[in-house]
Amino acid sequence: MTEQLQTELRAALRERAAQVPAASIARLAHLDYHPRTRRLRPPVAIGALAGAAGTAGAVAVVISLSAGASNAFAGWSPTPTRPGPDQLAAASADCQTQSPISGLPLKLADTRGPFTFSVYADANSSATCIKGPTFTAVSNNTTSAPITVPAGHILLSSSHASNRGGAAYSWADGRTGDGVSAVTLNLDDGDTVQATVANGWFVAWWPGAHDVKSAAITTAAGTTTQTFDLGHQSPCGPMPCAGGEGGRSSSVANGVGGGGPVSASGSSSIIGPATGSASGHSSASGAGSGSSQGGAQSYGISR
């Protein structure tokens, strides 16, 4: 029986594996997995900007991006910028027509150059929308029960995506506990990105696919640096994460926390001017550089 079973098992596995569409494999094979290597900072530029204090980092990054492999995110800065005239209105008009967002109240909008990253959320659902000069991308998450984050901490959801033009970008968003007034993310390549914080939420995004390693979280008591283990299955860890844990998932996360079972699910899509194809829970449509290639998502709570 075992030999026969092994034979049948091989056949069953082959049959199941054959269900993977060729388009899925081709899509993954043609993604750019080198969206951004370590940022190049020409010595002349650093020297010239060294005295520019607060703006030095931002300018250096803009230089590095334009000199790097992709200029898809030209104008991005590691600190939020003041929105241009009509920038927020244009983003809102675009984003709110998308079904994941429809009906959700706006929690905050993060602007970096020509890009607007908005977070819409209610107690159990959230959706993000990034609008740039050439594309608009939407993703959403739902949880089965509201999650309460401990004071002075953040619940972080980190995602990666890349566009058809070969440029990857990542973002982190999530809820803030009481008292959190500022969040600065430290990426695993040593760079930092300052988040926008408002209404119990924060968001930040950056070109490339580097992960969040830690965050500097500011409260009235000062600033503490808190680390994340984004692969952790129980992101609430020892923290009293009321309402349950977030889990770690690209599409579905669930777990059982102190407040009972909580599940979360999400999807993402990008909206462009033309029709396109969809694959799995990530859908893509559009033309040129305005097309999502899906992504990966992680959750973690600061420890």
Partner 1 sequence: MEQRRADFENFVAQNTDALVRTAYLIVWDLPEAEDLVQEALLKVARRWHRVRRMEHPVAYARRILVNLALGGAERRSRRRQELTGEALADRHDQRTESNPVETQDELMRALAALPPRQRTVLVLRYFLDLPEAEVAAAMKCSLGTVKSTASRGLARLEQTMRTTNDTRSIPT
> Contact residues for partner 1 (CB under 8 A)?
1-2, 5-6, 8-17, 19-21, 24-25, 27-29, 31, 33-34, 160, 168, 209, 231, 233, 247-255, 279-282, 293-297
Alpha-carbon Rg for the chain in angstroms: 20
For residues 65 and 105, is the Cβ–Cβ distance under 8 A?
Answer: no
Angle value at C-alpha 14, between 11 and 19, nearest 5 degrees: 130
Q: From 7, 34, 292, select the one nearest 164 (Cα to Cα).
A: 292
Alpha carbon 19 to its chain centroid, in Å, reads: 30
For 33, which DSSP code? Answer: S
Closer residue to partner 1 in complex, CB, 152/235: 235
Residues 6+ apart with CB under 8 A from 222: none
CB of 56 to partner 1, least distance (A): 26
Backbone angles phi, psi at 253, to 5 degrees: -135, 135
Q: How far is the CB of 79 from partner 1 (least distance, A)?
A: 25
| Distance of closest approach, residue 262 Cβ to partner 1, in angstroms | 11
Q: Taking the complex as a whole, how short is the minimal distance between the CB of residue 237 and partner 1, in angstroms?
A: 15
Choice between 17 and 221, CB closer to partner 1: 17
Of 143, 141, 135, nearest to 95 by C-alpha is: 135
In this complex, which beta carbon is closest to partner 1, that of residue 176 or of residue 298? 298
Q: Which is nearer to partner 1, 122 or 188 (CB)?
A: 188
Nearer to partner 1, 152 or 246 (CB): 246
CB 9, min distance to partner 1, A: 5
Six-digit token pair at 120?
A: 């819409």
